[in-house]
Structure 1
């Protein structure tokens, strides 16, 4: 991962969203690096749930709290006294944002505001990294890969909430944290996949559940393309960026994309076929019937700036990403321990 283990050992970290898929992997990475992690998130939302499965064996201080609960967020930030903040908690699903736009905007925009307000009095802060999304850009579906300076936008409520969060981050960086010498930046990750995601209404978990039943998964937009990447590639970027910000002492650059190589663009159907085959499902997918809220059909991001700034690039190509993901789920389905599977892939990936 090109991380510096001595940087993380003993460092006080505040992590939000640790009961989610990426957050659970981040918890393991940070704990195994020897960081002193305080984490908070909503209670696990799915059954099974990766954090619920592994959490009692991961050495972090875990709390349940809602970003919209100002007193709870304030108290956790005060007690944690973090040096590094990794804000990953969010309402992260496009279709859910259509069902509950108010909750999505409240969690993603005002939740971030609440967190940043709670952090302002902390004298120990060295860097804050806010995780947003590859969907923050005004996507006219030209097929071009978005660089960080592309216009922000968002048609659906989820994308709009994340684009607005980017504006909040810049405002707080320039108005409050920058003058204090505390770097505040954003990270825009691609479509992250990997073992242990059991979220509802998301492609890979849906494929896993379908394989368990020996049934095809229903795809709304099988021809849509996304910047698929493995969770370890994405998290190596996040942690590397946080380390860089703390060492540099300035949010320069103020945001970075983390995604696959730009020529590795697969459709939803191609990903489904590969994962389904890896899980031994002979009936992988079928076209879903009915009408659905609109989603962008093409999305690509350009990670050249991360390569230049951090010497970061994905270690796993798209075929390896799909193979590692399918293997994790296949092994889990055969009774292997989730945390052992995670640590085995982390060791294989390397730091």
Structure 2
């Protein structure tokens, strides 16, 4: 895997990057990476909603100009962006969970659709903002058990979360922006990695169970997902921003960032491998069938466009991604310093 394209410190050093969602799982990792690359980072997000959380464990606030705020508050968002004067804007803030979207559909639509519109409206009023990247999801595509979705695949959304992200794509494609600004959307697969504590997600559920002495409970063992370490799509986002910056304005683009086909495995396969890597009697059990909100049975991504246009490739295959994830939670369990350890994993990924 040596020689894969990576974000360039020479490009990012001194760049003013405004990041929404920096208190979340992906946003926390991205803030640390941008800081390590030499960027000047401004963060805007709600307070973390889990205990523990990556933001606190890795002291993410010390690596950015930290601002608490809601993307649904258009005036506050614009004020924060105008004060920071970003050159690059990365929009990660979202209600990111399918099952939560069933319980809170209005909040999900307000955050994911109007939050995106508010971000774009603020960015178009800031002359320094040259690149705007909107992060959506692999779930923007209409469901298919057989298709490997590429960027031209039909958008869809059976559940409120998926529909809201598909709508965010349409908002981004249609929002009136100044001619000089460069805008794109990016879509990634199911991310894993240290520091994720979200509810109803396989890896966080596993480690919550491990620390409580309980078996992981699986509700959809046959569901196939494009599993990838969080650093893989984040690498893609940074390469996409570099590409947009360096090239003339063009039609609004989208890129998929998904793993190799070998990393598209059923939930039960992933659970069994995590248990093996952790050892110590770790186990899972399959829940009996029951009525539950619909979730897509199969998700697969075609990332050929990102490979061709951005030079991006997955850096860690599934065994490496799982190994790094288990190592992170083991270090946490043993009371190690998580900021330095997380940064060390970023450096290891850069060298992969």
Which category describes the TM-score, using the shorter chain as reference length?
over 0.9
Query: SS state of the match for residue 59, structure 2?
Result: helix
Map of 1:103 onto structure 2 = 107
Map of 2:162 onto structure 1 = 159
Query: SS state of the match for residue 176, structure 1?
Result: coil
Map of 1:239 onto structure 2 = 238
Partners in 1 of 2:247 and 2:286 — Cα distance?
Answer: 49
Please report the RMSD computed on the Cα atoms of aligned residues, expressed in angstroms: 1.4
Shift of 1:264: 2.6
Single out whichever of 324-333 and 88-97 deviates more from structure 2: 324-333
Map of 2:295 onto structure 1 = 295
Shift of 1:283: 4.3
Single out whichever of 336-345 and 236-245 deviates more from structure 2: 336-345
Partners in 2 of 1:344 and 1:166 — Cα distance?
Answer: 34
Partners in 1 of 2:242 and 2:327 — Cα distance?
Answer: 31
**Normalising by the residue count of structure 1, what TM-score does the alignment of the two structures yield?**
0.95
Alpha-carbon displacement from aligned partner over 1:3-43 (angstroms, at most 9, x marks no partner): 22111111111001011101000000011111111101110
Map of 2:268 onto structure 1 = 269
- The answer to whether the 8 A contact 1:216-1:283 is kept is yes
Partners in 2 of 1:207 and 1:230 — Cα distance?
Answer: 16
**Normalising by the residue count of structure 2, what TM-score does the alignment of the two structures yield?**
0.95
Query: SS state of the match for residue 58, structure 2?
Result: helix
- The answer to whether the 8 A contact 1:185-1:251 is kept is no
- The answer to whether the 8 A contact 1:13-1:38 is kept is yes
Partners in 2 of 1:217 and 1:235 — Cα distance?
Answer: 28
- The answer to whether the 8 A contact 2:88-2:130 is kept is yes
Map of 2:119 onto structure 1 = 115
Establish whether residue 80 from structure 1 lines up as the match of residue 84 from structure 2.
yes
Alpha-carbon displacement from aligned partner over 1:253-274 (angstroms, at most 9, x marks no partner): 6000001012431111111111
Map of 1:127 onto structure 2 = 131
Partners in 1 of 2:103 and 2:244 — Cα distance?
Answer: 37
Shift of 1:239: 0.5
Partners in 2 of 1:34 and 1:57 — Cα distance?
Answer: 16
Map of 2:177 onto structure 1 = 176
Partners in 1 of 2:311 and 2:139 — Cα distance?
Answer: 24
Map of 1:94 onto structure 2 = 98
Query: SS state of the match for residue 132, structure 2?
Result: strand
Shift of 1:56: 5.7
Partners in 2 of 1:345 and 1:194 — Cα distance?
Answer: 10
Map of 1:330 onto structure 2 = 330
Alpha-carbon displacement from aligned partner over 1:67-123 (angstroms, at most 9, x marks no partner): 111121111011011100000110000000000100000000000001111111111
Query: SS state of the match for residue 167, structure 2?
Result: helix
Map of 1:345 onto structure 2 = 345
Report matched runs for 1:277-316 at 5 Å.
277-289=276-288, 290-316=290-316
Partners in 1 of 2:250 and 2:319 — Cα distance?
Answer: 34
Partners in 2 of 1:52 and 1:38 — Cα distance?
Answer: 17
Partners in 2 of 1:194 and 1:251 — Cα distance?
Answer: 34
* Residue in structure 1 matching 2:68, options 39, 64, 70: 64
Aligned length: 346
Map of 2:32 onto structure 1 = 28
Map of 1:145 onto structure 2 = 148
Query: SS state of the match for residue 222, structure 1?
Result: coil
Query: SS state of the match for residue 43, structure 1?
Result: coil
Partners in 1 of 2:64 and 2:278 — Cα distance?
Answer: 32
Partners in 1 of 2:195 and 2:331 — Cα distance?
Answer: 11
Partners in 1 of 2:262 and 2:51 — Cα distance?
Answer: 36
Unaligned runs of 5+ in 2: none
Shift of 1:176: 1.9
Map of 1:195 onto structure 2 = 194
Query: SS state of the match for residue 227, structure 1?
Result: strand
Query: SS state of the match for residue 115, structure 1?
Result: helix
- The answer to whether the 8 A contact 1:211-1:279 is kept is no
